[in-house]
Structure 1
Amino acid sequence: MKKTFSILFLSLGLLVFSQQIESFTTILNDKISIRALEVDGDKVWYSGTDSKLGFVDLKKIKNQKQIRLSEIKLQFRTLAQDKDSLYAVNIESPAYFYKIDKKNLKYQLVFTDMSKAAFYDAFHFVNEKLAFAFSDTDDNRLKLTRYKNGEWSFFENKVKLNPGEAAFAASNTNIASTKKYLWIATGGKSSRILRLNFKTEEIEIFNTPFIQGESSQGMYSIDFYDDKFGVAVGGDYTKQEANVDNIATTDDGGQTWQIQASGKNAGYTTCVKIKPGSKGKEMISVGDQHISYSFDSGKTWKKISDEKGFFVCRWINGTTIVFAGKDRISVMKLKF
């Protein structure tokens, strides 16, 4: 009987992952590298190289528009949004914070970081009145730019990063939040979780068992379902096939992390997103060399596509995901 059940469950597992992709359609081709996406209704917004920012209408693919935020060829790897506007900040110094009106694409410069070490890895709105942008720093201090109630400023804190501890602007997703917390994932020679409590404005620091020790290693992306459950992915971008200690989950809000699927996943991963409405059970991830899926809260993973050159993904709804990366944006529809 046990053998029969084992065969049955194996068959069901294979069925779950077979014929999973219903369609995979490219909706934008351009000479651009995209590492940041936002979805607002029927529009997919993106920012990228050569100061480019734009949108594609999912219902009317031909309805798309692109602008350049600067005559200088800036690189944008961040994008954030509130109800009416988009916000983007470029990597490298000086760092220019742009606010873009969603209706008419008119933009304005709202803040500038002139520090020589400015390199913004992620930009994230917690709610309509609160946002954070995370930057590299030249003195091992945690550097956050905060938008609060219409005002921009540097968030004062006493957190010191370890030598060689930094972050990766791989997909604009090393920041995540709920109503109670903001989490930041670091990488490099030290890969840790920093957790900001909004009520107390105190930051706690938690060590992780994630691969670390080299400048190319660590967590690249995190996502949280609620105040307790979260997932982190990453690895080593110089060793794309390496798949040891590069996925982890937490059940206590980031205080402790459990390595998952070590040696049994598709390797280096730049973005992970939990499926809306799945209670943290289902999630999709993408790396330069693969797209992978988990049905069991990140414990096991199945590569569902060998598509290369994607860096970031976002759920559009429960069956549709948008991907972006080198020279394109594509939409995948899943069939369960």
Structure 2
Amino acid sequence: MKKIVLLFCISILFLACKEEKKISYTKVSLNEIHSDSINIRAIVLDSNQLWFAGSNGKYGAIELSTNKKFRGRVSKDSLHPEFRSIAKTSKAVFILSVANPALLYKISNDKKEVKLVYQEENEKVFYDSMQFLDDQFGVAMGDPVANCLNIIITKDGGNSWQKVPCASLPKVEEGEAAFAASNSNVLLRNNKIIIVSGGKKSRCFVSEDKGITWNVYDTPIVQGKEMTGIFTADFYDENIGFIAGGDYEKQEDNSKNKAITKDGGKTWKLVGQNTGFGYASCVQFVPNSKGEALVCVGGTGLHYSNDSGKTWLKLLDDKDLYTLRFKNDSVAYAAGKNRVVKLILKN
């Protein structure tokens, strides 16, 4: 009986140690899968397809198993809009342009139908990011056109969009806006909407009830100038989140440019001070890492951390990747200046 108990305890100990063991990546391979004269800051993955949207009205899709490509282009009144936001449901893909007029298109999964589902004209309009929670509920956010962030919501799968009135939103501070760096300013986790701002004030806006009520929380990220603040955010779950950015005009500066939360965005703690990357364009949690592993791309290359952002290892010098998303815990896809690439993280 004692032997059985001993063996059981050893087995539990072994399984616990195995479960807690960290995977530490030390290198990454890069393979270009698409090239074109296009700047891409918005990508989204489904089971076997990567969709992208970018400059000069261009968008497209790549079948990941065959590398078969589809390319499309939007033109409206001789205008070729610049797309920096993309999101998808199981039925369609949505792309949203920056600047005036804001144009939001719905593209059918078979790529045959492209429909304008929302348009907004205002000299201040500039949308930064968009995401769907499920097949019905989606959110897009942008710079203020009045005294609040510009937020629109859909509850019918993207067929119609309604603006959240400023009376229902926290007021922005002077010089507070957002950056359309990598389509990572808005995040949806269950009923929670999380939005980050940047500029002269850099904060975290949180709604626990799908946009009915809001709270706003300060962050310690560098701020105070037009090109400072949070440029990118990711949440591993409802509680663990990471923000990054910095000073776009001082891209090597790696102080006060990264912070972590463990309470859903209410409080933030600076990490990785004076180490790792400088200006950050996109940060993403590695799947299945318990919220401890992250990858960041930006003005100083591609960096990896496996200790919640305390220390970082540079894996690539490439400064022309603007956005990335993970397919699994070792494969990610990134895009930027004139290309889309596949990244494989290795021990």
TM-score surpassing 0.5?
A: yes
Of 142, 163, 171, 1:154 maps to: 163
SS in 2 for 1:285: strand
Looking at structure 1, the residues matched to 299 and 51 of structure 2 have their Cα atoms a distance apart, in angstroms, of 21
1:9 equivalent in structure 2: none
In the alignment, which residue of structure 1 is the partner of 2:341? Answer: 330
1:90 corresponding residue in structure 2: 97
- The Cα offsets for residues 266-308 of structure 1, whole Å up to 9 and x where unpaired, read as 2111111111222211111110330011101222211111012
Task: Please identify runs of 4+ aligned residues in structure 1 that moved more than 6 A.
Answer: none
Correspondence for 1:75: 82
1:39 aligns with 2:50: no
- Indicate the larger mover: 197-206 or 183-192: 197-206
1:259–1:53 CA distance, 2 compared to 1 (3 A): same
Of 210, 217, 231 in structure 1, the residue corresponding to residue 242 of structure 2 is 231
How far does residue 199 in structure 1 lie from its aligned partner after superposition?
A: 6.0
| Structure 1 contact 180–227 (Cα < 8 Å) conserved | no
2:60 to 47, 54, 57: 54
Which moves more between the two structures, 196-205 or 228-237?
196-205
Pair 1:243-2:257 in alignment: no
| Structure 1 Cα separation of the partners of residues 133 and 203 of structure 2 | 21
Match of 1:64 among 66, 69, 81: 69
Task: Specify the structure having the higher radius of gyration (Cα).
Answer: 2
Whether the aligned pair in 2 keeps the contact of 1:171 and 1:312 (CA below 8 Å) is yes
Q: How does 1:290-305 map to 2 (within 5 A)?
A: 290-305=301-316
The letter for the 2-side match of 1:308 is K
> Are the equivalent residues in 1 in contact too, given 2:149–2:177 (CA < 8 A)?
no
User: 1:148 Cα shift?
Assistant: 1.0
Shift of 1:139: 2.3
- Indicate whether 1:289 and 2:300 are aligned: yes
**154-163 or 211-220, which moves further after superposition?**
154-163
CA contact (8 A) 1:175 1:221 kept: no
Structure 1 counterpart SS, 2:70: strand
Q: Quick one: percent identity of the two aligned structures?
A: 34
State the partner residue of 2:9: none
Deviation digits for residues 181-214 of structure 1, max 9, x if unmatched?
1110101000000001126721000011110000
Q: How does 1:130-209 map to 2 (within 5 A)?
A: 130-149=137-156, 150-156=159-165, 157-198=168-209, 201-209=212-220
Instruction: Name which of 222, 239, 264 aligns with 2:275.
Output: 264
- Structure 1: state its 5+ residue gaps: 1-14
Deviation at 1:140, TM superposition (A): 2.3
- Contact kept, 8 Å, 2:193 with 2:211, in 1: the verdict is no
CA distance in 2, matches of 1:248, 1:93: 33
Who is 1:109 aligned against?
A: 116
Please give the secondary structure, in 1, of the residue aligned with 2:33. Answer: strand
Deviates most, 271-280 or 30-39: 271-280
How far does residue 118 in structure 1 lie from its aligned partner after superposition? 1.0
AA paired with 2:319?
Answer: K
The whole-number CA distance in structure 2 between the counterparts of 1:69 and 1:200 is 30
Q: CA RMSD in A?
A: 1.4
- Which secondary structure does the structure 2 equivalent of 1:332 belong to? strand
Write the letter of the residue equivalent to 2:240.
Answer: F
Q: Write out per-residue CA displacement over residues 143-169 of structure 1, whole angstroms, 9 at most, x where no aligned residue.
A: 201111243110132321000000000
